[in-house]
Structure 1
């Protein structure tokens, strides 16, 4: 006999049927429990270590596979994860959601659905429990600035977390059984941490196999405190050549519009890039780290099948001194700006600087030293040929590699294309730049684009096929391909042109790809062509020539250099401001372009003003000088771009904040100069 009493099964003596029935019940219960409760549970360890970079003790969290300590022979790849605003290395696990910038706790499920979200399996611990991988979380905590992490936007204390990252990696590699090499490392992050993931990955592609970003901030002011500058990642995509990247975008994320710009830009750059757009089925489409499995499966794929080092690579860096792919670059830059390396490979490289992205002028009076990777025969004499692109001046010298096979080059911040070859080497053709036959083309204009080809190899090239392909659907290439004859060693070719036309009035920059085929090999170059297509004529605007303007964050701010009467006079530095239909309280500055000879566009400045949208993005406002010899009554025709906010009514999350939407205006107008 079997009696159920107070939820306890009591068996009678010699009751074989009851015992068999009980065994069946217990087996079913065990199966149900095994399904409900994961058999393996990840290990979460919180530790501290002393940082030589910060000269203080820092917190770290490690999430380890359940059997990590049972198999001392095993080594694991590592995903380095960076938290967002108001987050910490450890979550935080509890507390009111409205008081945390990270709206959910995603390290593990702690039983609180409001804090962890509706899916108890969508977290780091669950992922690590089912995969042989370690997740390492640093702490972006800066005491004087909390809840804002990472000492960025603005840089106040010169705490450079990009300098800390290699030290953090060394700590994890030293204290845990990792696969301590590039192919077994990845980075990921949410929001501000997503920006840090982009920043770290763009600076150290040689240390990583992949990178991912959950709803990242698309831009911030970063760099050394004295040289910090606005850094928009939609302009930095080519840093990721050879490094697979992935981004999550939420349909109701307040950063969605900024991240969509990155998404659109990166899809035209020939990258190993993918994106995932999610809606209300994942945490209601809000700003968060969700669908962790698919994001981290991306990293696991490239742990198993890592990409080789790219044959040629590109790099933009905000720091005056940096190392990437074993190349060392040093400069005496004393003003904010960017150093840009293009088309870096054994045959040479291109180097130039910009005071801002994407179209700032070069940094003047700069001395640059570059030391190459150890890719050349040691103690060997090479011929070095270089083209100063703007002047078209070509010079030659000889250089000798050191005992490690490295070559040094000294130059300036002006755009320079450098070739290296030995006697007997084949010719090598590069595209140094391009020219247009029309200044400031607009939608519908047929413009001729002429690539400047430079043979910086060791011999002549007899025949080159040139093919130009549009990366944008709304750009038409009328002359698709042509073949040109011999280019002598050290010679330039700029006679071949391609007719192109933009069919989209909202297109600021057309993305194109030039393919060169010669000597049995094929090479490609990406280029951008600006178009200037006004949607309307701007009638109401203010000339800031030393006048106060009312800005969103800076409030009353004096802008421009002049007598402050709101009239453009010869010799004054002016900016242009206007109102928006939805915000009559603030002034919005314009980015300015003109082909007028009485405005020196090569000397223009860029001002960066804050925005009230939590995005980290800034409003760019040009400042241009009217030449002192500008005649009285002369009218200057400008093309301008400005953005103004269109605050939506889509709730972002339980913070109660709203999504932030903006609209871009492209306008034309004239400014009359008076003495």
Structure 2
């Protein structure tokens, strides 16, 4: 009998690709979509095997199906291969194949969130109020993410809880991922952004449509490690670099990576997701003290529920929240302290107190400096509800059994930032309120993580503060600053308190800016706009105009008699003409300024901030200023100012755009004279 040999050739079995899902969103009032990338070995029937989840927000022109409107081939690039997956046309678009591979490599589920907004033109994502007179849904993604998390956890085998969630995004999605993380730091174990889009986007309903400056969100991020990634040839790379430096030392872990890549792209997603995987393996950070800003009238954070009658643009600001009290402020635009009008704000705590227990509530008013007390009682769950009226704000202390005495370092109600010139030692004074019913002897400890930038020269002395009183501590501490280039000139100091040898839970962070002495030339000129209009030469460019960035335009700012002089009762802006510190060709254009006054120099206040598009990344800011007093010959008004210089920096060996938006800040001191004109003070 003849034997027959049978040869079986085994081919690898290709797993299915991503899943596209939909759900009805109660938040948005419409069907929304998302794409799910699962590991190759994911088995929906194996409920014993569960996965951590990374939520990813795509960029401009993209959707849940693709990170942007372009393919890899559009820029001469080869698409990555999705290992052991059947070929799919969507793999030609970023970052689908990457996410297939990373889901398997990291053993996680990756959710591509849909930021596309029906009816929007241009980029068409996330921020509908980029369109003039938008009348539709305002798309609150900071609430929608909670709805989406519930849907994903219901449909997929996920590890439930904040330890097992991360959030990331690219470009405009990087901005949105940062915003969502900052409004929900209790929901994620870590957050990241790839080359975020840095413009000042407006968010909220028309009644309270508010400009987000993403650099100010450091206040919200305690308890959530953050990673920033950009590329060597990314035209937005300097903004990501600055954001990393802005957050560094702000009370949370902060990392940065520069990938070698030829364009604006979510490059080296493997490294970004390594960062998230590392934090999946660690317990979710909790916080004993936090601060938080939110533009919505009602929100929840770390178990605290806030409801209000807010109907105007700006922020509700919870400051240094601990079990023994908090600050409740309103601000139009940070770090400047112009407040909103008075309106009712209610803050309900988590159940962290004894049920049905009486406590003492003390209030310090920033409006008139008064301190008042009243009894307050918890409910049967152990929650306290505090009523406030917004405005400039107040500090609230809670005293009672088992609580630390509420001793509070007060904030600056003109400008929260602190400033000093490089290589100079400066002593800073602070105001402190003891909102307890007994005197408190306090040791203050001032520290910084930004040790290359700031050096604490002198620590505060021990001080006894009478009960229910506020004191000013002159020479509270002394600090020396070293100016570092490339946006490294900002950092933080942290103030801790010790009472009876016990370190208190409250931690007070203040942002520092170290200023360089900018070069002064004899041709330095100053113009004041107090309702007048004048044509000025500007350094500005739009898309594809970066090769010729000089043009003239009409400036019309301020409100007054229009005589070009700053006078009491007017609103005015200041523009200067001086050679740029980064662009050699820019020697005669005009630039708007921001005053850096604080409570120790309160002669001017910022009334509003005007934005002007002068490059393709982020608008420049022009402060609209009011005088608190008229200058005299013996007492002119001193105004320290910051100006932002721009450059369309050439890049070679790119595969997208041959210039990067670069910017740099310069600092000058000017004085306002009795005749209403300004004069430069030479250092």
What TM-score results when the alignment is normalised by the length of structure 2?
Answer: 0.81
Question: In the alignment, what sits opposite 1:76?
Answer: 51
**2-side partners of 1:47 and 1:490: how far apart?**
58
Q: Which has the higher helix share?
A: 1
CA distance in 2, matches of 1:542, 1:444: 31
Name which of 56, 62, 65 aligns with 1:90: 65
Q: Which SS does the other structure have where 1:405 is aligned?
A: coil
Which of 150, 159, 177 does residue 170 from structure 1 map onto? 150
Query: How many corresponding residue pairs?
Result: 636
Question: Structure 2: how far apart are the matches of 1:627 and 1:455?
Answer: 29
Cα gap change, 1:418 to 1:584, in 2 (>3 Å): same
Partner of 1:10 in structure 2? none
Contact in 2 for aligned 1:186/1:208 (Cα 8 Å): yes
Match of residue 605, structure 1, among 604, 608, 614 = 608
CA–CA distance in structure 2, aligned partners of residues 97 and 511 of structure 1: 41
2:458 is paired with a residue of what secondary structure? coil
Which residue, out of 525, 535, 541, partners 2:508?
525
The alpha-carbon deviation at position 190 of structure 1 amounts to 0.8
Q: Distance in 2 between matches of 1:654 and 1:509?
A: 33
Q: Is the 2:249–2:449 contact (alpha carbons within 8 Å) kept by the matching residues of 1? A: no
2:197 to 217, 224, 228: 217
User: Is the 1:444–1:501 contact (alpha carbons within 8 Å) kept by the matching residues of 2?
Assistant: yes
> TM-score, normalised on structure 1?
0.82
CA contact (8 A) 1:107 1:125 kept: no
User: Are 2:32 and 2:114, in contact at CA under 8 Å, matched by a contact in 1?
Assistant: yes
Q: Structure 2 matches for 1:212-611, cutoff 5 A?
A: 212-226=192-206, 227-279=208-260, 283-284=261-262, 286-389=263-366, 391-411=368-388, 412-423=390-401, 425-433=403-411, 442-443=421-422, 445-457=424-436, 460-462=439-441, 464=443, 466-469=445-448, 471-480=450-459, 482-484=461-463, 486-495=464-473, 497-504=476-483, 511-523=492-504, 524-529=507-512, 534-537=517-520, 539-548=524-533, 552=540, 556=554, 558-578=556-576, 582=585, 587-593=590-596, 601-602=604-605, 604-611=607-614
The equivalent of 1:130 in structure 2 is 105
| CA distances 1:198-221 after superposition (whole Å, capped 9, x unpaired) | 000000112222212122224532
Q: 1:371 to 1:465 in 2, by over 3 A?
A: closer
Match of 1:7 in 2: none
Q: Post-superposition shift, 1:319? A: 2.2
Say whether the 8 Å CA contact 1:76–1:133 is kept in structure 2.
Answer: yes
* Structure number, greater radius of gyration: 1
After superposition, the Cα gap between the structure-2 partners of 1:394 and 1:103, relative to the gap in structure 1 and judged at 3 Å, is farther
Counterparts of 2:80 and 2:308 in 1: how far apart (Å)?
42
Do the aligned residues in 1 keep the contact of 2:345 with 2:387 (CA within 8 Å)?
A: yes
Residue range with higher mean Cα deviation, 451-460 or 654-663: 451-460
Distance 1:658 1:83 in 2: 23
Structure 1 residue 241 displacement after superposition: 0.7
**Cα deviation digits, residues 117-154 of structure 1 (max 9, x gap):** 8xx99711112223432111121112332441112563
Deviations for 1:431-490, whole angstroms, at most 9, x for unmatched residues?
234799xx9764455432234343445755455354455734343432136434x44554
Residue 169 (structure 2) pairs with residue 186 (structure 1): no
CA distance in 1, matches of 2:369, 2:183: 31
- Tell whether the 8 Å contact from 1:316 to 1:341 is kept in structure 2 after alignment: yes
Shift of 1:160: 2.4
Partners of 1:458 and 1:517 in 2: CA distance: 18
Classify 1:627/1:379 alpha carbon distance in 2 versus 1 (closer, same or farther; 3 Å): closer
1:88, CA displacement in angstroms? Answer: 1.3
Mapped contact 1:466–1:483 kept (Cα < 8 A): no
Partner of 2:329, secondary structure, is strand
DSSP-derived class of the 1:403 partner: coil
Q: What is the CA distance between 1:673 and its match in structure 2?
A: 5.6
Alpha-carbon contact 2:120-2:128 (below 8 Å) kept:
no
Shift of 1:69: 2.8
Structure 1 unaligned residues grouped into runs of 5+: 1-12
Mapped partners of 1:336, 1:315: distance in 2? 16
Alpha carbons 1:509, 1:530 under 8 Å: kept? yes
Residue 130 (structure 2) aligns with: 154
Partner of 1:201: 181
**Does the 8 Å contact 1:218/1:234 carry over to 2?**
no
Find the aligned partners of 2:285 and 2:120 in 1 and give their Cα distance: 40
